[in-house]
Structures are given as structure tokens and as C-alpha cells.
Structure 1
Amino acid sequence: MAELYSNNYLIVAIFLFLGLALPVGALTAGRFLRPHNPHDAKRTTYESGIDPIGGSWVQFNVKYYMYALLFVVFDVETIFLYPWAVAYEHLGLFALVEMLIFVVLLLIGLIYAWKKKVLEWN
């Protein structure tokens, strides 16, 4: 039985080693094999062959980030709801209560943000 567990650790160790060694090796090989040709034109902004208009620094309104964060939160909620809905029949009342707590906590956060007028666009 101990051999079975040590074999599993060996497999995980091999995957960890390969997961680190292959990208590092590929990046190192690319660094040594590529031609080194520094040029000032490589540092300029490139817009599909068209001369750039203005600078490359664009600042977005912070409200966009709030909506993106809300999208990610409720997207993750949806991802958690799908497997729960599929397995609900086998999980029973306990899983229903857990999922209701999860959804209610997210709704409380949304209502709090709404009351604080975080979602208004001024």
C-alpha cells in the first residue's frame, strides 16, 4: 500500500518538474537562439501599420472596473450553480441550504453596492 502512495508522489513530482523545466528551458533557449538586434523603432507604438495618433497611455474610467468585477463575481456564481443544479437530486436539503446562503451573500453585497450608489454612472 505504501508503494502506491509513493508512486503517486513520484508522478506529481515529475509533473511539477516538467511544468517548471519546460517553460524555463524554452524561454532560455529562445533568449540564446534569437538574433540580438536592438533598434529604436522597436520601442514605438504600433497600430496595424498606421502612424499612431496621440500617446499610448489611455486611462479608463474606474467605473468600468467596478462593472467588470461585478461581471466576474456573478459569472463565477453561475459557474458554481451549474454543477450544483446537475447534482442537486443526489445532494439533498443540505446542498440547497448551502447554495441559498451563497446566493444570498452575493445578493447582500449587490444590494449594499446599490445602496451606496456604487453602480450609478455620474
Structure 2
Amino acid sequence: MASVAAGYLPILLFLGVALGLSAAFVVLPMIVSRLTGAHQPHPAKLSEYECGFPAFEDARAEFDVRFYLVAILFIVFDLEAAFLFPWAVSLDFTQWSGWTAMMIFLAELGLGLAYAWKKGALEWE
């Protein structure tokens, strides 16, 4: 029984060190900013900068749908890039059938991009 528990000791040590380091990387910068005076809230600092509109407004506020269209296009092409890496690694195993399938996939994505470009989904006014 002791040998089984001893086998888990390196894993527990690894988890302890990982939790300690992650807590230090989160808490330590907050403490240092409070002590050095870098924590000075200002309306310009607290304004929204990621989404472009205030986050705490009425839930029924209108906003442009093109924001979501661009986000969806970004996700599609980001996933496509993520699929290219495992495909390239396994190309020696899949050979011509894998290469053909990926070329069909890339052609479909190219047609989708051309369609979105023609419809003006990529233009921001």
C-alpha cells in the first residue's frame, strides 16, 4: 500500500508546485500594483476596449450584426488553421487520400471566403 502511495507523490508535488506558481502569478501582480501605487482607477482605464460598446447597458440595446459575422468568419478560418497542423503531421500516414481530402476542404473554404467577400461581409463601415 505504501508503494502505491509513493508512486503518486511526484504527481502531488507537481500539482502543488503548479497551484502555487499559478496563484503567485495571479495574486503577486495585484499586491505589487497596490503597494507601488500603480493601481489608480480612472474612467479612461475602466472603459470598454474589446467589444466596442458598453457591457452594462440595457439587454435590448441594438448593435450591428456585422460584428458577429466577422467573429464567425474569424472562428471558421482559425479552426481551419488548427486543422492544418495535425493534417500536415499525419500526411505520411494518410498519403494521397488525406491530401485530396484537405485540398477539397481548402477549396470549400476558399469558395466560402470568396462568397463572403462578394457579399461584403468583410467590409466594416
Counterpart CA distance in 2 for 1:56 and 1:118 is: 27
- Write out per-residue CA displacement over residues 66-115 of structure 1, whole angstroms, 9 at most, x where no aligned residue: 11000110111112111101111121011000000001101101101111
1:6-85 map, 5 Å = 56-57=57-58, 58-85=61-88
TM superposition score normalised by structure 2: 0.50
* 5+ residue gaps, structure 2: 1-45, 47-53
Counterpart CA distance in 1 for 2:57 and 2:119 is: 34
How far did residue 59 of structure 1 move? 3.7
Aligned-partner residue type, residue 94 of structure 2: L
- Counting aligned pairs with the same residue, the percent is 43
Counterpart CA distance in 1 for 2:69 and 2:89 is: 31
| Match status 1:91 vs 2:63 | no
> Which residue among 87, 104, 109 is the counterpart of 1:106?
109
How many positions carry a matched residue from both structures? 70
TM superposition score normalised by structure 1: 0.51
- What do you get for the CA RMSD once the two structures are aligned? 2.2
